[in-house]
Amino acid sequence: MPKPFSRTRGRPRFPALIRLLQNPKLGLGGGFVLLLVIIAVFAPAIAPHDPLEQDLMASALPPFWLAGADPAHLLGTDDLGRDVLSRLIFGSRVALTVAVVAGVAAGTVGSLLGLLAGYFDGWTDIAVSRLIEIWMAFPAVLLSILIVAILGSGVGTVIVAIAIIDWTRFARVIRADTMANAQADYVVAARTLGFGRWTILFREILPNVMPGLIALLAMEMGIAVVIEAILSFVGLSVSSDTPTWGSMIASGRQIIYQAWWVFAAPLAAVFATVLAFNQLGDGLRRALDPVMRR
């Protein structure tokens, strides 16, 4: 029997899987993020040492490929003799928690305002747009330090601070995307069918801005990791008995000439995580967009 569709002929059995394999950004970025999630969840089982256990007799041991290393401490120890690898592993917990929760919070607030501004032009758009402009004039890091100073330190505060600072990223992009979609004929068609404005906004327009939103969300998670590291670095994140990458960078900085690896290891972790989130975001954008993925 002849098949009239040339484009859908031979539609693969597992289109999602095929697409993933065709898209190295998605595979590599997503793979690394998934690995990170597993590490964070099973940190107590994976970490070779207690991240808080001090051993002043074994302080500042180098990583395994340098002379004088102890095979029990693969990435060496810091100035208090704590195992760097174990601290990295436990540090991923705070980093990922903040990334996911703060990313979703900023994304929800920002996209909602962006959708409203893009669809209901007039005073709603004017109000949201001016708010975005005012917001973006604040220096982000200083604003976050101010928020933490007012609310007190802790993971919850860091999350709130990131959401308060970064919703504008979502709002700007989603607003423009919504405006473009609101002009499309399918919105006119939905209106002639008698759908209300909210139905059109959430059922017709939202699915079309979703690929962009998800991509932004992944990238925002990378940014949240950096902001958390900065706040930990200046000692405004969680209490010092919880290992974080930022506080490791801060303590490593003080002994950078004696033991550079204590500084370099968490820096590399932040770098790899942000890179992975960015690649994941870009890969998702390509994979999810029904027009781009033909």
Partner 1 sequence: MSEPRLLSIEGLSAVSDRDNGAPILRDVSLAVAPGEIHGLVGESGAGKSTIARAILGMTPRTVRITQGAIILGNTELLSLDARQLRRLLGAEVALIPQDPLTALNPSRRIEAQMTDGLRMWKGHSAKSARERALTLLDEVQMREPERVMRCYPHELSGGMRQRVLIAAAFALEPKLVIADEPTTALDVTVQKQILKLIRAMQARHKTGAIFVTHDLGVVAQICDRVTLLYQGKVMEHGLTADLLLKPRHAYTKALVRATPRYDRPVDGLIPVPDAVIAACRAEIAGFDGATHG
Q: How far is the CB of 122 from partner 1 (least distance, A)?
A: 10
> What is d(CA 222, CA 96) in angstroms, rounded to the nearest whole number?
9
Judging by beta carbons within 10 Å of its beta carbon (0-12, 13-18, 19+), is residue 9 exposed, middle or buried?
A: exposed
Nearer to partner 1, 7 or 150 (CB): 7
Q: How far is the CB of 96 from partner 1 (least distance, A)?
A: 29
Q: How far is the CB of 9 from partner 1 (least distance, A)?
A: 11
- Per residue, the 3-state secondary structure of 279-293, as one string, reads HHHHHHHHHHCCCCC
> What is d(CA 46, CA 125) in angstroms, rounded to the nearest whole number?
50
Here the tokens at position 91 are: 């540090």
Q: How far is the CB of 240 from partner 1 (least distance, A)?
A: 47
Q: How far is the CB of 8 from partner 1 (least distance, A)?
A: 5
- b/e per residue 29-38 (b: at least 16 CB within 10 A): bbebbeebee
Nearer to partner 1, 111 or 247 (CB): 111
Nearer to partner 1, 253 or 293 (CB): 293
Q: How far is the CB of 291 from partner 1 (least distance, A)?
A: 6
Give the list of residues 6+ apart from residue 21 with CB closer than 8 angstroms, or none: 27
Nearer to partner 1, 19 or 59 (CB): 19
Nearer to partner 1, 5 or 65 (CB): 5
Q: Which residues bind partner 1 (CB under 8 A)?
A: 4-5, 7-8, 184-186, 188-196, 204, 207-208, 210-211, 290-291, 294
Nearer to partner 1, 8 or 57 (CB): 8
Contact of 33 with 277, CB cutoff 8 Å? yes
DSSP-assigned states of every residue in 5-41: -STTTT--SSHHHHHHHH-HHHHHHHHHHHHHHHHHH
